[in-house]
Amino acid sequence: MLYYKTQEEIELIRESSLLVAKTLAEVAKVIRPGITTLELDRVAESYIRDQGAVPAFLNYNGFPNTLCISVNSQVVHGIPGKTELKDGDICSVDCGVLKNGFYGDSAFTFGVGDVKDETMNLLRVTRESLEQGITFAIAGNRMGDVSAAIQQHAEASGYSVVREMVGHGIGRHLHEKPEVPNYGKRGAGMTLKEGLVIAIEPMINMGVKSIVHERDGWTVRTADNKPSAHFEHTVAVKKGTADILSSFVFVEEALKSNTNVKK
């Protein structure tokens, strides 16, 4: 079942999504070589709770932490732990919150220290792919228009698109219908209507599109162990232009003063 949101509900989702954005900015302030992913997780949980909200991922289907932190060849759902980030790593940080009965969800991939230019290009193209998809998330278009825009931009740059992991609807539940694939055919799929709120999240690999699941039951990585990048926004479908409810502005501001992050 699809849940279409009223404008009042969309504003509540925006509030949650902007809290996610500000939480990612708190991570951006401290991320550096030598910090553990668990330390980043603690920063995020403390900040979310201080704002009167609840970490959305913590205990979701048994997930043990506030953030999904996926490093280098890990695609998504990495579990924070004692692993220290190293100079040259890339690190996807995926965050969700629940506030006032509604969820927000967003992800940003950071370059830690001195990252290879070819790897930073993967991050750039993945973010551009997200932006391309969002431009088609308007009333009257089809879901395939969003998906195809993401796929075409990524593949035109020589990268591959993960098939098994997709974006999703979001609102009173963290994951709602519909699924939002990052590959597809223009003109195919459901018609997008005002009030639909979706999390669009390209997962783009430097090498093959195939993935494998690690033994922890959560972490997904690339089959060839090459890097993967992940960016995500929560978006409301409207007429004329998509309404991006999350934001990277706070992250970008925080990164300006962090010399340990490749920009």
CATH code of the domain covering residue 14: 3.90.230.10
Cα distances from 200 to residues 86, 172, 190, in angstroms, run 29, 17, 15
Checking if the pLDDT of 258 tops 90, the result is: no
Task: Tally the domains of the chain.
Answer: 1
Residue with tokens 């040259």: 88
Inside any domain, residue 255: yes
Inside any domain, residue 115: yes
Residue with tokens 């409207």: 238
Whole-model pTM?
0.97
Q: How confident is the model at residue 261 (pLDDT cuts 50, 70, 90)?
A: confident
The residues near 94 (Cβ < 8 Å, ≥ 6 apart) are 57, 67, 68, 69, 70, 76, 77, 105, 106, 107, 230, 232
Write the DSSP assignment of 188-237 as a string of letters: -SPBP-TT-EEEE--EEESS-S-EEE-TTSS-EEETT---EEE-BEEEE-
Residue 145: helix, strand or coil by DSSP?
helix
Inside any domain, residue 1: no
Inside any domain, residue 177: yes
Mean pLDDT computed over 97-123 = 97
Element (H, E) at 109: strand 102-112
Mean pLDDT computed over 72-95 = 98
CA distance 178 to 2: 7
- Quote the DSSP letter at residue 23: H
Whole-number pLDDT of residue 135: 98
Mean pLDDT of the chain: 97
Q: What is the CA radius of gyration of the chain?
A: 17
Q: What is the pLDDT of residues 29-55, one digit of tens each?
A: 999 999 999 999 999 999 999 999 999
Checking if the pLDDT of 263 tops 80, the result is: no
Mean pLDDT computed over 219-239 = 98
Please give the residue range of the domain that contains residue 54.
Answer: 7-262
